[in-house]
Structure formats: C-alpha cells, structure tokens
A and B are shown apart, each in its own frame.
Chain A
Amino acid sequence: MISAVIVINNQGKPRLTKFYNYTAVEQQQQIIRSIYSVLCLQPENVSNFIEGGSFLGPDSRLVYKLFATLYFVFVFDSSENELAMFDLIQVYVETLEKCFSNVCELDIVLNYSKMHTILDEMILGGQVVETNSEKIMQAVEEISKLEKETGATKLLSKSASLLWG
C-alpha cells in the first residue's frame, strides 16, 4: 500500500502532500522534514530507493525521482514493487506534462487542486486505480468541466438573488 505521496522542491518546500493513513499535521511536517534532510544529501547517480525504517516507521520504503527542481516522493510498504512505484512517478509526471504542457514548479504551485485531482484519479486510498495517463486525463477533464458548470450555477444564483432580493 502507498502511504504517502509528497512533492518537495529542492529548497525543502512541500508542494504537494497526500497521506493515505491518518497522520497528524505535526507528524506530517516532521516526516516531510526528515525526508528532505535525507534527499538533499543524496549524491547523484545513486539508487532511487531509501529505506525509511528509521524515520517513517517499520516496513516503509521511499522511492524518489528528481525532476528539475522538484523531488517526487512515494512512500510505501513491502507489498508494493519498488520499480513499479518508480514508474508510477513517471506516469504522474507525464500526466502533469500532458495537462500543463511543459510543466514547471510554478504550474504546480498555481494549480494545486488540479495536482490533487490528477493524483486522486491515479491513486485511491493508497492503491493504484489507473495507470493509463489518457484515461486519467479524460477523468480530470470531465471533472474540470463539472467544476466549470457548477461555477456557472453559482454565478447565476448570485445574480438571481440580486434581482429578487
């Protein structure tokens, strides 16, 4: 099971955090800090797996991938295949790429909720739902269409209330 998905920039600022088990906010911050402190010391050309026993609890591993300024980190237990998780990061980033075309850190900061929507279409409750980035994009587009529609509804009700109130 995947227990957390975290995106941190190379300054240690978390850009996206998603925990699939209940974790208190303080603990989340503690975890992010310790992950960053490990990541920023990783030299180049080493493996992308880190055993997390000492700071993430027993039987937890961490796989990370560095894209430009961002670390994408998945935390999971031994029931998952490391390389498969590694690939999943790639799928996530490829999907982001499709969504934002030439994705950069700023896109992620500005489209925070979209990041979550995409992630939710990929991983649900710590399990992989969909690995096909086309399908993920389809679902995401549907949702954003729905969002736009509800936005229109809101606009309407407001003007209506102005008219009648």
Chain B
Amino acid sequence: MALSGMRGLSVFISDVRNCRNKEQERLRVDKELGNIRTRFKNEKVGNIGGREFAESLAPDVQKLLISSSCRPLVRKKAALCLLRLFRKNPDILNIDGWSDRMSQLLDERDLGVLTSSMSLFVALVSNNHEAYWSCLPKCVKVMERLARNQDIPQEYTYYGIPSPWLQVKTMRALQYFPTVEDPSIRRALFEVLQRILMGTDVVKNVNKNNASHAVLFEALALVMHLDSEKEMMSQCVALLGKFIAVREPNIRYLGLENMTRMLMVTDVHEIIKRHQAQIITSLKDPDISIRRRSLDLLYGMCDVSNAKDIVEELLQYLATADFAMREELALKAAILAEKFAPDLSWYVDVILQLIDKAGDFVSDDIWFRVVQFVTNNEDLQPYAALKAREYLDKPAIHETMVKVSAYLLGEYSHLLARRPGCSPKEIFGIIHEKLPTVSTPTIPILLTTYAKILMHSQPPDPELQNQIWAVYSKYESCIDAEIQQRAVEYFALSRKGEALMDILAEMPKFPERQSSLIKKAEDTEADTAELSAIKLRTQQQTSNALVLTDQRPANGAPQVSQLGMVMVPSTSNADQNAVDQRVTQSNGTLSVVDPQPLAQDHAPAGDILGDLLSPLAIEGPPGVSPQSEFNGVPSHEGSVGANDALALAPVGDQESTVKPIGDIAERFQALCLKDSGVLYEDPYVQIGIKAEWRGHQGRMVLFLGNKNTAPLDSVQAVILPPSHLKLDISLVPEIIPPRAQVQCPLEVVNLRPSRDVAVLDFSYKFGTHLVNNKLRLPAVLNKFLQPIQVSAEEFFPQWRSLPGPPLKLQEVVRGVRPMPLGEMANLFNSLKLMVCPGLDPNPCNLVASTTFYSENTRAMLCLIRIETDPADRTQLRMTVASGDPTLTFELKEFIKENLVSIPTAGKPPAPVAQQPQPNNQPIASSDPGALLAGLL
C-alpha cells in the first residue's frame, strides 16, 4: 500500500537498472528531469528569477508554451511565466519570429490557454505594438468567436456570457493599436462592437449584469479609442447617459468615469452637455466615489457656455459637501470661475462667495489671484471694493474674507468715497471692528489697510488720524516682529505728510503670469480626484521647511564668511519653483512699502519677504527666529538660553495661559547628549523622546502623554525638517484620550552634514485654549557620530593627507567657557568625539577622532586637535580635518558652539551677554526674542 505513492519512483529506478549502457541511462534520467521540470518550473521561475535567469530559461518556457503536446495547465502557466520574465527583461521576446508564434498562439482553441496568452500579448503590445500588427486580425477573430458564442465550451460561459475576461483582455489589446486599417477587419470589428453595444440589457441577475457590463464598458473604451464614425460615438454617449441614471451604483460610477474619459478623447462635448442635469444630480449621490467622479466630469465638461450654471451648482453644493471634498471643490470652482468667466465681475462674485461659504477651504492662492485680477483691471476696482464693503456688513465673516476685503478696501475704497457708508472713517471703523477677532497673520494686512486709508483721506481728517495712530502705537511693542515693524514704520511714515503719497501709492499692475491655481491643478491633473486636503497640506509643509532653511544663510552670513559655500540650499526642482513663486509674489508689493529705509539694511530675509502676499513669510518669523539664531550666532550663545525660552514660548502667548514646566532650551540641550528624556512638559501634556541611532539613520519615538482626565483635542504634530534631514512622522491621532500616551515613531535619515535643527510644531486644544509650541528636535549633528579610537600610526598619515582648507580648518576660538582639560575631554566624549590620549606630546593639547555618517558622505573619519593655552583658559586653537569640506566646517562650528555655550543652561545669561558682540547686535535686534529681551 505504502509503495503506491512511489510507483513513479520505483518505475524510474527499475528503468535505470534495466538500461544496457551508459547512453541509455543518461537518456532515461534526462527524460525524468524533463518531467519534473515541466511540472514545477513555470511557477517557480517567474517568481525567483533575475535578469540572467530570465535569459537562460526563456527559450525553454517558450518551447513549453508553443508545444501542442503539453497539457493546457502547463501551457497556461508557461504563458504567464513568460510574461513575468518579459517584465524582468524585455529582450527575451524581442526575437525574430516571435510575433508569428504569438499570432499562432492566438489561434488557440482552449480558452484557458488563450486567456493567459492574451495577458502576455497585452503586455507585449503595450510595450511595442509595431511588431505585432500581424496579430491584430487574430484578436478580431477571437472577439468574433466570443461575441457570436461559437465553439465556446459550456464551462467557459459565466452567467451565460462567453468568458468575459477574455473579451475584456482582447479589447484591451486592441486599444494598444493606434487604428485598424484593413477595411474588412475594421468592419468585422465594428460589427462585433455594435452587437455588444446593442445587445446588452440590464437584467435581474446581478452577476450576469456585472459581467455583461464589464464587456460593454471595455467595448465603449475601444469605440472611443478607434474614434469611429460619429454615429457610433453618439450611440455610446446615449448609452452612458442611460448608465449614469441607473440604480446600480457600480454602473453609475463607471458611466461617469467613462464619460469623463470620453471628454478627453473626442469631441462630443455638445452631446454630453445634454446630460448635465443628471450629472449634477450625481453630485448629491450617497456614494463619495460617485460624487468625486461627477465632480471630475463637471469640471471637465465646463466651458464658457455652461460655466455659470456649473459653478453656481458647485457653490451651492459646497455648503453641504463632505469635508473630504470641500477643498477640492473650492479649488475647482475657483479655477473654473477664472478660466471661463463670462465677465470679470462675476468672477469676483464667485470668489467672494466661495470665501464666504467655505473660508476654511479656500487656500491663500485663491484670494491672491482675485487681488491680482482686481489690481490689473481698473474697471473692476470700484465693483470689487463695493462688494468687499457689503460683505463686511455681515455679522460674522471668515478671516480670509477679512483679509481680502481689507486689502481691497485699502487699495480702492477711495473709489467709493461718494457712496453712503463709504467715507474713510466709516471704512476704517468697520474694518477695525474685526481686528480683535483675527489671528496674528491678518493683523499686518489690516495695519497696511489703515495706512492706505489714512493716505486717501484728503483733506486729512485729524480724528481719523488720531484713531489710526493710536492703533499703531498700541502695536509698537507687539511681540510679533512683523506687526511691530509695520506699526513702527507706518507710524513714522504717516507723519511725513505729503511724502506718504509716494510711498503708499497704489499697487502697480502684476505681471501677467499663469495662474498658480491652474498650475497646481495641472500638476495633479493625472489624478484629479486626488487633489485632497492632505496632499495640499503636505505641499505647504515642504514649502514651510524651505523658508526655514532658505533663510538661514541670510541670517548667518555676517558672522561666518564660509557660510555661503556650505549652506547651499537644496536646489531640487520643486524647491526652486517654490522659491520662484515666493519671490515673484513678493515683487509686487516690495515697490510699495519698502521696508529698507526704516528697517535698516540688516533686515533678515524673512522681513523683506514679509509683504502682504507672502503668508509664509508673515508666519515665518516666530517659528524661524529661534532656529536661525541657534545656528547662525554661535558666539551669541550666552543669551540664547533666555531668548530661546521666550521665542519658543507659544506664539499666541496672549491667548493661552499654558506655561511650560521646566526650561525648554535646557531640556533640548540635555537631549542632545543623551537619547531619551523629556522634550517638553506643561500642565496638560508631556512629550518624551526616545531615540536610537545607527550610522546615518535613526529612529525616534515621540511619546505624547495626556496628563489630564479630559481628552486632548485637535492634537497636531508637524515636523519642519531642515533640508539635510529626511524625516517621516507617522500619523498623530487628533485626540489623545485622558491619561493616555500615544507613541509616534519617526524615521530620520541624515543626508549631509549640517547643524540645522528640525522643529516640531506641536499644538493641541485644551478647553478653549489653543496651545502651540515649536520645539527643536534633538536630531543634531553629534547623533550621527560614532566614536572611533585611532592609533598614532593611523592618525598621522591621515592628518597629513588632509593638507589645509577647505578639508582642514583651523580657528582660534575666544570666549571659551573655562574648564579643566579633563572636563573638556569628558565633554568631547559625551559629544561622541573619542579623545585619543597620548597622540599629542603636549599635555595641554587634546586629540579626538570620530566617524560621521550621512547619505552623501557615507562613513567619514574626522580628526580634531585642540591646543589650549594654560595661561588663558578662555581661548584655544582648534583644528578640524575630514575628507569633506562641508563636514569639516560644520563640525568645527558645532564643537565651537559646545565649547562656547553653556550646555547646562541654568546660569543667568547676564555675564556672557556682556561680551562685546558689536557685529551681532543688529541681527539680534531684528529678532523678536532678542527685541523683547532688550525691552525688558
């Protein structure tokens, strides 16, 4: 009994035994191996093989596929195996005569083998259809056979339809050929298609319905592709029109999708427009997939003739649409309004309505664009100003509406002067009413508006002037640098009287340029439905990060001459675009309010960019300053402790009373030297951090703990990474339950040496308080160091092989915190710079070595030599060498920061702040933190 399982084997053995000579024996073994191969190879080869594997095995698999003696099961798998190999290495089928064989394969009677062969064929023609023209008639034959239900075994009909999969595949294959030229073949094909289009009915059985419609939709796609006689095309549209009204949601979905596709391929606009009402109804479908499709379709079919209807429909829908779609809806409505506006005043109406109805979802680009239009079209200005004035009368309006109407009224309210309620004083009054309700970024816009109103009130109205001056003097000491600067400057300017006219003259026209909205839409045209809020937000995040890193050189430049060489801002294409956009946006207003004369020539880049139309720059300074100061002013470190604490305090300090527990800067410094600890703590939240570093990669886990018995709402953690770090944060839940801790893992990759620091923008809502903190993350340079002990034999040749700048840099550092040599050695070791005793004969000197890891530099040895002066402990000479100029410079600056600074920042900053820092002073005074410190 047991032997039955091995009958094959015993037969084989006895056969081998019975062989008379070696030759026969080999033949028998080869035959057996062949048997084994045919059974197993096909499945395995495709899955494990590489390129060479594919080359050497492809001929065998081809043979199996073509051979008529093989079992269909084997041939099927051979076809798919070949497809798999072809994907790995297309050359294996680029051989003479393969197309003829393929053509023979398509004659196959067995439908299983034919389906697999058709899969292979689709892949081949999608790669290169030229070689396979000879197969085209065969495909049409297959279609004829299937459509007429000739010679189809019962088991291959699925709910009465002859193998729908094969039909679909065959029609897919036909779509890869640009056209069908041979008239008789063409006729045959169209006859089949006609049969499919006409013969498909909606039946009771769901499965049958699905199968028949699968074929039908593919047939529609093929008809669209072949762009046949108009007659058939309109038949298709009529069918689709029927589909989008049926009950079955799948069919409705596909109907809408195919209609959208049809818009792109052919000129059937007019016929599709007849279904506009039905499509608009689909916009209210319970299924979001269908709503998205119909939105896409409406967007695609919009033109001048129906723009008004469609946009109005979209606006109406906006109020009830789900949140996931609102942003996309708003953007699409804005684009359509701009593209197809029958007149510009309608465009202004639409955008203002849009802001009014869905202000939260209207990105800044949209209102910038309307401002550009109004500025460039004089006829439009009084109308826009009037509209803006009307909206201000509403009891509650969105902040974006405040921005846009304040801007428009500032520029053009004088055009309304004769109308009731539009005197400068009244306009000022109604705008000023909104001031207490708006957030920090909007206030600068309002301040500008006041200045413009003041300028336009001729003859001067002393009462209005006093009111506005009072506002300016109130904001003169505002914590926000942008607001403060504007308040101070406008106050000074408005005392100039006549000169004010020149400086605050009307905005010049914007240069004509492509709408950034349309550009944005084009970028995402490929997947129109995917222009989601998440995506937009990530785009904004990257540009934020860019502003951060981009500003660095401008701030740091005065101190460090080499900085220009080192701080190359990332120049990838996308970044470049973003920079261009910012810069062009700022151009327009620069000429109007030039901060240069008042803000002195050391104004950091952020302030120059900080014009009306550059929201990032407006928001920039609070977030940027701690960072740029930290990096750019190493020798100013003493006061950094104090400044940081101030600048890092919640931005909207006035509105929140949540104070951090412990010093944030101190916690950060401690975390720079160790891998776990508390990053931030306040009465409600504790953020802990735990990190692991290996080479140029690291993994940090943020522990967000809710300390309270109430849940924390609207939790947001966004990382603003510097350009040299790749940081991926996993999603942070929006709500942290009471007394719960959430872990957010964070992958870090170091791309190149830099001392820039990543910032975690963390905010949450507790009760009505919105608490926002910008925290530096301890992913600093020394985390990517690995201490290494170097012997004298290794050290000196290396040291000598790095002759001088830029690979080896030397600097005399003054103002060093005095410490014994032993303590300095400890400090070095804690920074992962391994002190190598005995290398330098002079006992006052210190030699250290380490390996730095980044993606650009890989592992790179760094050597450091410190020569101290026993007579004066506050100065020393430092030499740093490595194989990469950037690394050498960054490491030198990094060590310097640590030698000069006080890592345990408990001491009062006063003594160090007294150090003469003449050239640093102006920079510091442009920084809000420093300014405030100065005021105190």
Interface residues of A (CB under 8 A from B): 43, 45-51, 53-54, 58-59, 79, 81-84, 86-88, 90-91, 120, 124-125, 127-135, 139, 149-150, 152-153, 155-156, 159
Known: A84-B168, A124-B77. A152 touches B289 (CB 8 A): no
Top 9 A-B pairs, shortest CB-CB distance: A83-B214, A46-B287, A47-B249, A47-B253, A156-B2, A152-B5, A84-B214, A127-B119, A149-B5
Expressed in whole angstroms, the Cα–Cα distance for A135 and B84 within the complex equals 23
Known: A49-B289, A129-B77. A83 touches B116 (CB 8 A): no
- Residue picked from A58, A82, A130, most chain B C-beta under 10 Å: A130
* Chain A, Cβ-Cβ closest to B209: A83
The A-contacting residues of B in range 163-177, CB under 8 angstroms, are 163-166, 168-169, 172
Contact A87 B286 (CB under 8 A): no
Contact A87 B84 (CB under 8 A): no
Contact A47 B290 (CB under 8 A): yes
B158 at the interface (CB under 8 A from A): yes
Task: Output the least CB separation between B139 and chain A (Å).
Answer: 16
Known: A131-B158, A131-B163. A125 touches B46 (CB 8 A): yes
15 contacts between A and B (CB under 8 A): A46-B288, A46-B290, A50-B289, A51-B292, A51-B529, A53-B530, A54-B532, A58-B527, A84-B211, A87-B164, A90-B210, A125-B83, A128-B116, A129-B115, A135-B155
Known: A51-B292, A84-B168, A125-B47. A134 touches B155 (CB 8 A): yes
Pick the contact of B526: A58, A87, A139, A149 (CB < 8 A): A58
Known: A87-B164, A124-B77, A125-B80. A79 touches B122 (CB 8 A): yes
* Chain B, Cβ-Cβ closest to A125: B84
Contact B116 A129 (CB under 8 A): yes
Known: A43-B286, A152-B5. A130 touches B526 (CB 8 A): no
Contact A79 B292 (CB under 8 A): no
The A-contacting residues of B in range 831-874, CB under 8 angstroms, are none
B6 at the interface (CB under 8 A from A): yes
Contact B534 A54 (CB under 8 A): yes
Contact B6 A132 (CB under 8 A): no
Pick the contact of B211: A54, A59, A87, A127 (CB < 8 A): A87
Task: Output the least CB separation between B846 and chain A (Å).
Answer: 44
Given contacts A83-B213, A125-B80, A131-B158, 19 further A-B contacts (CB under 8 A): A47-B249, A47-B289, A51-B527, A58-B526, A79-B172, A81-B172, A82-B254, A84-B214, A86-B210, A91-B158, A124-B80, A125-B47, A125-B83, A127-B116, A129-B80, A130-B76, A130-B112, A149-B5, A152-B4
CB neighbours of B218 from chain A (8 A): 81, 84
CB neighbours of A159 from chain B (8 A): 2
Expressed in whole angstroms, the Cα–Cα distance for A132 and B172 within the complex equals 20
Expressed in whole angstroms, the Cα–Cα distance for A119 and B493 within the complex equals 78
Expressed in whole angstroms, the Cα–Cα distance for A79 and B87 within the complex equals 15
Expressed in whole angstroms, the Cα–Cα distance for A82 and B286 within the complex equals 20
Contact B5 A153 (CB under 8 A): yes
Contact A87 B207 (CB under 8 A): yes
Contact B5 A51 (CB under 8 A): no
Q: 1/0 per residue B114-158: CB within 8 Å of A?
A: 011001001000100000000000000000000000000001101
Q: 1/0 per residue B284-317: CB within 8 Å of A?
A: 0011111010000000000000000000000000
The A-contacting residues of B in range 1-16, CB under 8 angstroms, are 2-6
CB neighbours of B207 from chain A (8 A): 87, 90
Task: Output the least CB separation between B126 and chain A (Å).
Answer: 8
Task: Output the least CB separation between B604 and chain A (Å).
Answer: 38
Expressed in whole angstroms, the Cα–Cα distance for A144 and B431 within the complex equals 81
* Chain A, Cβ-Cβ closest to B527: A53
Expressed in whole angstroms, the Cα–Cα distance for A164 and B254 within the complex equals 68
Expressed in whole angstroms, the Cα–Cα distance for A20 and B629 within the complex equals 51
Expressed in whole angstroms, the Cα–Cα distance for A128 and B250 within the complex equals 22
Expressed in whole angstroms, the Cα–Cα distance for A128 and B47 within the complex equals 16
Contact B529 A53 (CB under 8 A): yes
Contact A132 B287 (CB under 8 A): no
CB neighbours of A86 from chain B (8 A): 210, 214, 250
Secondary structure of the B contact surface, majority rule:
helix
Task: Output the least CB separation between A13 and chain B (Å).
Answer: 22
Known: A45-B249, A84-B164. A131 touches B210 (CB 8 A): no
The A-contacting residues of B in range 321-375, CB under 8 angstroms, are none
Task: Output the least CB separation between A28 and chain B (Å).
Answer: 16
Contact B214 A47 (CB under 8 A): no
Contact A81 B168 (CB under 8 A): yes
CB neighbours of B292 from chain A (8 A): 51
Expressed in whole angstroms, the Cα–Cα distance for A45 and B158 within the complex equals 24
B217 at the interface (CB under 8 A from A): yes
Expressed in whole angstroms, the Cα–Cα distance for A59 and B156 within the complex equals 30
CB neighbours of A130 from chain B (8 A): 76, 112, 115
Contact A46 B289 (CB under 8 A): yes
B95 at the interface (CB under 8 A from A): no
Contact B289 A81 (CB under 8 A): no
Task: Output the least CB separation between A57 and chain B (Å).
Answer: 11
Contact A87 B158 (CB under 8 A): yes
Known: A43-B286, A45-B286. A132 touches B112 (CB 8 A): yes
B66 at the interface (CB under 8 A from A): no
Task: Output the least CB separation between B64 and chain A (Å).
Answer: 14
Known: A134-B155, A153-B6. A83 touches B83 (CB 8 A): no
Task: Output the least CB separation between B884 and chain A (Å).
Answer: 32
* Chain A, Cβ-Cβ closest to B83: A127
Pick the contact of B2: A82, A84, A155 (CB < 8 A): A155
* Chain B, Cβ-Cβ closest to A139: B73
Contact A54 B252 (CB under 8 A): no
Contact B80 A47 (CB under 8 A): no
CB neighbours of A132 from chain B (8 A): 111-112, 155-156
* Chain A, Cβ-Cβ closest to B218: A81
- Residue picked from B83, B214, B292, most chain A C-beta under 10 Å: B214
Task: Output the least CB separation between B286 and chain A (Å).
Answer: 6
CB neighbours of A135 from chain B (8 A): 112, 155
- Residue picked from A50, A79, A84, A159, most chain B C-beta under 10 Å: A84
Contact A83 B211 (CB under 8 A): yes
Expressed in whole angstroms, the Cα–Cα distance for A51 and B252 within the complex equals 15
CB neighbours of B163 from chain A (8 A): 131
Q: 1/0 per residue B638-659: CB within 8 Å of A?
A: 0000000000000000000000
CB neighbours of B287 from chain A (8 A): 43, 46-47
- Residue picked from A47, A59, A82, most chain B C-beta under 10 Å: A47
Contact B76 A83 (CB under 8 A): no
B43 at the interface (CB under 8 A from A): yes
Q: 1/0 per residue B798-833: CB within 8 Å of A?
A: 000000000000000000000000000000000000
Contact A47 B250 (CB under 8 A): yes
CB neighbours of A43 from chain B (8 A): 286-287
Expressed in whole angstroms, the Cα–Cα distance for A139 and B218 within the complex equals 30
Task: Output the least CB separation between B870 and chain A (Å).
Answer: 56
Contact B289 A131 (CB under 8 A): no
Expressed in whole angstroms, the Cα–Cα distance for A135 and B73 within the complex equals 9
* Chain B, Cβ-Cβ closest to A138: B73
* Chain A, Cβ-Cβ closest to B252: A47
Pick the contact of A49: B115, B214, B250 (CB < 8 A): B250
CB neighbours of B250 from chain A (8 A): 47-49, 82-83, 86
Q: 1/0 per residue B79-104: CB within 8 Å of A?
A: 01101100000000000000000000
* Chain B, Cβ-Cβ closest to A86: B210
Contact B530 A54 (CB under 8 A): yes
- Residue picked from B81, B165, B218, most chain A C-beta under 10 Å: B165
* Chain A, Cβ-Cβ closest to B72: A135
Expressed in whole angstroms, the Cα–Cα distance for A54 and B5 within the complex equals 52
